[in-house]
Structure 1
C-alpha cells in the first residue's frame, strides 16, 4: 500500500451547522503543512445569523437533495490538482465515504459519520436527536431549524450552558429535510466490498445523534481486503467534537494517522 502523500485537504461540513466550524481545524492543518478548503453547501454561503433569517422559506435549500450535495463536493474534489484528503463530519462523513468509494480521494476521515445505507440506525438517541429533521410531519418545502433544546441534546450535551449558547449562535443554521431524508435512501449507498483509499472512522463516547456504537457498525460493514481501514473512539466527545475545548487532541490523532498511513 502506497503511503498518503497528498498535501491538500477538503473539509466537508455536516448538517445543521455552517462551514465556519472548520476554521480552527483548517488553521491547525495548514500550520502542519497542508493546503485546506472547507466549501459551504449550496445555498449556505453566509453567516449563521444571515442563514437563520431565511428560515423557513429558503426554498432553494429546502429542495436540495443528498445526491446533488454529494455531487457538489465530488465535483470540487475532482477539479483539484491532486487527489486530496477528504475529512467530513456527520453528514459530511457520509459524503466522505461516498467520495472515497468513487476513488476520488487520497484518503478519507469520517468524523462521527452518519451511517451509509445498509447500517440501520436503531439507537434511541439517534432517533430522538434526528427525527424532526426528516420532516415526517412537516412540509419538505420548508427548511428545518434545530431548536436550542434539541441542539443541547443532539450536539452539545454535557457542555456548560454558556458554551452551548455560544455554539448555537455561532454555528446553527436551517437545514434541508430533503437532504437528511436522503441519508436513508440509495443516495447513501457505497460498495463495502470494493478496495478503497485509506479510511479512518472516529467516534465519541457521549455523542447522542451519532452514537459510537453506530459508528462502529458502519466501520465493521466494510470488507477486510487490501484497504487500510481504521476506527478510533474518543472519550468525552459529543457531536460538537469540532468545537469542543479539546478538539485539538482529535485533530492531532488524525494528523498522525495520515502521516503514518
Structure 2
C-alpha cells in the first residue's frame, strides 16, 4: 500500500528538521496514536519522529471499531514493506522502536539494514524462536481458535484484553486502557507467527546475521502473558551473535501494556537512553 499523505508529511518534516529520525511501529490491537506520549519525549530529546500506520489503519479508535474490515488481511511482509517504503523517504537512517508485532517488524527492518539502532519491546517471535509458553497460546486463542480469522480483523473482549495486555494493572486502569486504545487486529500475522517454524518460506523471519543490522535492544516485561521472557530471551539468543551490539533488559512488574499504561515513561526512557548511545 502506498505511503499515505500523513506519513509523507511526517517524513518531509523529519527531513526538513535536520534531526535524526525515530520511527515507531505499533503492534496488534493498537493504532499509531498509542505512541502519542512517546512522540513528545523523543521530540523533546531532539529527535524527529515518524509514526507510520499499518496498511488500512484509520485515524481513530472509534473509526477502527466501527469499520474493522479496513484492518483485515494485512500480512507481516506487507506491513514490513510498507514501513520500509516510509523509511526510504528519509534522508537519514532512523532509529526504529516497535512494540509486540511492531517489535518483530523492528527486527525484520533491522535485518534489512535500514535502521541505525533498534528497540524491540515485548517482540512477537520470528522463525527460529522456539519457546511457546501456555500464556502466549491463550493470548492468541481469540484469533487462532477460528481458522476463518486469518482473513478477518478480530477484536478482543475486555476479559481477553485484560489477560493479554493488562494483567499487571489494577482493574480500573485496565478498563480505561481498553476503552481508549483497543481496536480489532488483522488475524493473518498471528497465523503467520504460529506456523513460522513449519514454513521455510514464511514472511516471519529475521536476518539476524546482517552486519548492517546495527545496535539492538530487546525490552521484556516481567509479567507479560503475550510475549513472556522465554520468547524475548530466545529472540535475544538468536540475535546476540550479530556483530552489532545486542542487549536485553527485563522490566520488573510490567505486562504487555507497558508502552501505554501508567509506567510508559520508564519504558520510553529506557528506549531513549539506548537510542541516544548510538544515534
Using structure 2 for the length normalisation, give the TM-score. 0.86
Residue 246 of structure 1 corresponds to which residue in structure 2?
263
Q: Is the 8 A contact 1:11 1:38 kept in 2?
A: yes
Q: How much is the aligned-residue C-alpha RMSD, in angstroms? A: 1.7
Deviations 1:162-221 (A, max 9, x none): 211111111111111112222243111112333221111000100000002210111011
Q: Is the 8 A contact 2:143 2:187 kept in 1?
A: yes
The one of 172, 175, 188 aligned to 2:204: 188
The one of 99, 104, 129 aligned to 2:109: 99
Q: Partner of 1:237: helix, strand, or coil? A: coil
Q: Is the 8 A contact 2:26 2:100 kept in 1?
A: yes
Distance 1:177 1:97 in 2: 20
Deviations 1:221-254 (A, max 9, x none): 1252421111111001110011221221121122
Q: What are the within-5 Å matches in structure 2 for residues 78-157 of structure 1?
A: 78-134=88-144, 136-157=146-167
Residue 168 of structure 1 corresponds to which residue in structure 2?
178
More helix by share: 2
The one of 251, 272, 275 aligned to 1:234: 251
- For this pair of structures, how many residues does the alignment match? 254
* Structure 2, unaligned runs of 5 or more: 1-18, 197-201
Mapped pair 1:44 → 2:61: no
Deviation, 1:112, is 0.6
Residue 13 of structure 2 corresponds to which residue in structure 1?
none
Deviation, 1:116, is 1.4
Using structure 1 for the length normalisation, give the TM-score. 0.92
**TM superposition outliers: structure 1 runs of 4+ over 4 Å:** none
* Structure 1, unaligned runs of 5 or more: 1-5
